[in-house]
Structures are given as structure tokens and as C-alpha cells.
Structure 1
Amino acid sequence: MEKKDSNLTFHREVKGAVKKFWVQILPEDQKKKAVEIFRKYFVRDEPMCKSINLIDDKESLDYYMKFLWCAINQNSSLACFIELDDGQEEMVAVNVCYRNTAYKEIMEMPGFRDIPEGMNNIFEILKYIITQKEIPKELEVAEYLTSIGLIVIPEYRGLNIGLQVLSARKMLCEKMGLKVSVTTFTAPESQRLAEKAGYKDLVSLTYDDLQKMKPSSIFPDINKYAKRVRHMYILYE
């Protein structure tokens, strides 16, 4: 694994013992592990994925994993690790990030034009939300950092690890020459963390309103998992 950045190290108490954690750009040799974490936990827990049971929709799941792999290979994702008692390291969180222009590049690659129905429902909602505000006009930037998901594995939730990962985007933006990070946060937990990290709303809509505006995108029982979706930004001075 590549050398970690000590400036992004923090400590948390885990099962009565203080453990060292750190956030860094996702190393090459950990990319497959990051995809496994998303397949196992993000697809199971994210509200829209959960609503349409994406985990059992093989066609949509395979498409999403393929998109995720291309996004990760933009080499701008973040990962959080813990140092274990035996000196080994374990990945505990992943945030798949990329420059906003990469989305179009990925979608123009062979194999991405035909989107399965389940995945298309999610993409259509995300695209609708994003187009409600013209980011270049609102924030005076042509390019910015964006993301397709942040996940903390269950054993390490409740420790504000997601907040540390979101805060590390400042470092990532500096490395990429960007001054803005923009993300659509779909779950109440991630929305609270985004607020703590200093993110502000560009667009905030209830899922009920979204389904009225986009009746073709159906998310059964979505209100069991989340009430609102928020497109949020932070400007790094």
C-alpha cells in the first residue's frame, strides 16, 4: 500500500481501545477491495438502491459495478483505513470521487449506453436534481469534484469516520486543482455529516416531490429509508 498522509490521521476509541485511522487517496492495490465494499454494503444500505432492491437486480448491479470501477480508475477516490493490533491495515470506508467531466467520458465508453431499468431510474433522478441549478453559473466554476457514493462498513459506523472522509476532500481538491466539491446526498446520515463538514444546499427536494416531478422513476417505500435528497456543495477558499 502507498504511504499514508500523516496530516489526515485521527484516533477513535473502538471496543475500549484507542485506534489510529487515516484517510488517503485510494491506493491502486485496494481498488478491488473498494468495489467489494460498495457491492456488499452501499447497494444494500443506500435509500434508492434499497428501495428498488438493486442488490437482487443482477443486470443493474453489474452495470453499477462497471461504472464504479471506471469511476475509481479516475484515481481520485478516498479511503479510510484502521491500524489493527497486529500492525495490519483494514479499509473501513470508501468515497468514490471524480472530476465532474469524467461522468460524460465514462458514459461514452462502449457498454454504457444501454442502461438497465433499475440503474436508469437512479441515474435519471440524479441527473434531474443536478440540472435544477447551473453549477458553472451558481458557483462560477467549470469543473469540480463530485462523487457517486460514500460508505462506512457497519463495524465502524457511529465514529464520524464519514465526516473525516468528507473533510479530506479539501486535500483531494487541492491536489486536483479544484476549489469546489458537489455531491447529491441521498440518506439522512450522509446529509447530517455533510452539514457538519460545511456543505450547503444547492437543491433540496423530498422524495415525494421528486416522484411527482419524475413519475417514471418509481422508488417503492422510499420514505421508510429517507425523506429528502439534497444536492450540496462546499467552496474551498
Structure 2
Amino acid sequence: MSYIKVWSKFSGSKDPSKKFKIVVAPLDRVQELAEFMANYFVKEENNFRASGVPNSEEALKEYRDYMTQQLNNGAYHAVVCCVDNGNDEEIGDFVGASVTWRTTKDACVEKFQVKAKEYQKFMQLSAGMKTYYDITVKHKQDKYYIDRGIAVHPDYRGYGIAQEFLKVRRMECKEHGVPLTGAWMSAFGTQKAGRRDGWEIVCTIDRHEFITKFDAMHDPNTPPTIEFMIYKI
């Protein structure tokens, strides 16, 4: 039986009787993880929505293929949350996932052939945000953890899972000698979790102005700002 790395065990904030654990994502469930992220991150993350990716089967497939590729080749690292049944040798159904990119200041940008026009628009928005704040330019460190998404199943929101994922990211940084982690927080939930976990807001973008600048779709049910948050170890 293979060893399962358990990063954290915790009780749900709104119901302490609910027990959860965060573990390293199993390599034999990478496609399942990519599907989870497509369903509960891509379909709700603001820049993906502004680009129209959730409404395009072609774009969603490209995302799943890209995420699977990056996880399989080790470029992306993921941890998942599941209900804690008391058996540390079992990983149940995913109720949350956190994906990061372990990178360096001299790392090459990930390469992937993007064909769907919606995915191309998303890439344009991502590049646009980097012109506002580029962690590798602003911070002269050799290694970084950069966010590639946090997702929580709708049935398990409100239990503090997103905030626990941020705590685990800090733990990962300490274990692997990475001095800095950063993330664009573009949803109410992640912005709230980042503040509660003590992350520092180093850049704020007016969402309406940003979306208008790049001729993307406006969503009235999103935060008025996009915030880049960092945590120094």
C-alpha cells in the first residue's frame, strides 16, 4: 500500500462535527482532479467566466488536457481535501483542491497550444494581470509557489476549506525552502480566506476597468477588485 502524505486535519468551521483532511493528490487520479477543477474552479473563476471558457466545450477540454499534462509532468503540484474517515491510507471523494506551480525566476513559461478563442481570451487576461504585478520582477527570490487555482465543491463551502488550503501552502513553502507564495484573488471566497490567513495585498486592480480594457464579459456578481496577495515565509 502506497504512503499518503497528510498535510492537515481539521474540523469544519461552521460544523465542528465535520472532519476533513488535506493530502497530496494521488497521481492515479489526475484526470479526476482536472475534471474537478474544470467544474468548480474554471466555471466559477472570474477571468475564465469573463473569457467565456465555461460556455465552450472546446475551451474546457483544452483546460482539462492542459491541467492533466502539467500535473503528470510534475510542473504543477496539487493537494486535495476529502472527508476524514479516520483511515489515513484512504483518499475519498474530492471536496476541494488546490493547485500551485513551483517555479523560479528564470523558469520558462508553460507552453501549450491554445486553439479555442475563449481560452485565448483567458490567456490574454492572465498576461494583462501580470503587467500590473509580476511576482518574479517585484521580488528577487530564486523560488516561488504561484497559484493555479483553489476550488471547493458547493456542498462543502463555509467549512473553512479554502483558508486551510492557504495554510497548507505556507506549510509546503517551509518544507521545501520556498520563501514566497503568491496568488491573484479574484473571488469573494478566496479574498476573504487570504485576509483571514494573514496574506498581504500588494496589488489591487479595478475589475470593471480591467475587463473593459481587454474587451471581456462583465459579471455583476463578482468582487469590484482583483487582488494579488503574497505570503512571505
TM over 0.5: yes
How much identity, in percent, do the aligned residues show? 18
In the TM superposition, 1:13-24 aligns within 5 A as: 18-24=17-23
1:76 aligns with 2:80: no
1:106 aligns with 2:110: yes
Can you list the C-alpha shifts for 1:90-123, whole angstroms capped at 9, x where unaligned? Answer: 221101111135984531xxxx244432112222
Pair 1:136–1:83, CA change in 2 (3 A): closer
1:226 aligns with 2:227: no
What CA distance in whole angstroms lies between the structure 2 residues aligned with 1:89 and 1:22? 10
Q: When the two structures are superposed, what TM-score results if normalisation uses the length of structure 1? A: 0.83
What CA distance in whole angstroms lies between the structure 2 residues aligned with 1:88 and 1:207? 38
Can you list the C-alpha shifts for 1:58-90, whole angstroms capped at 9, x where unaligned? Answer: 222122112212332325212111124998722
1:178 aligns with 2:178: yes
Listed as ranges, the gaps of 5+ residues in structure 1 are: none
CA contact (8 A) 1:78 1:96 kept: yes
CA contact (8 A) 1:147 1:183 kept: yes
Q: Secondary structure at the match of 1:218?
A: coil
| Aligned residue pair count | 227
Can you list the C-alpha shifts for 1:157-185, whole angstroms capped at 9, x where unaligned? Answer: 01111100111002222333311111111
CA RMSD of aligned residues (A): 2.7
What CA distance in whole angstroms lies between the structure 2 residues aligned with 1:138 and 1:53? 31
In structure 1, what is the equivalent of residue 98 of structure 2?
95
What CA distance in whole angstroms lies between the structure 2 residues aligned with 1:165 and 1:25? 11
What CA distance in whole angstroms lies between the structure 2 residues aligned with 1:60 and 1:33? 17
* Displacement of 1:17: 7.4
* Partner AA of 1:70 in structure 2: Q
Can you list the C-alpha shifts for 1:101-154, whole angstroms capped at 9, x where unaligned? Answer: 5984531xxxx2444321122222222222323434533313200122100001
What CA distance in whole angstroms lies between the structure 1 residues aligned with 2:13 and 2:129? 38
CA contact (8 A) 2:204 2:225 kept: yes
Listed as ranges, the gaps of 5+ residues in structure 2 are: none
CA contact (8 A) 1:207 1:223 kept: no
Pair 1:88–1:124, CA change in 2 (3 A): closer
What CA distance in whole angstroms lies between the structure 2 residues aligned with 1:82 and 1:114? 36
In structure 2, what is the equivalent of residue 11 of structure 1?
11
* Partner AA of 1:42 in structure 2: F
CA contact (8 A) 1:185 1:229 kept: yes
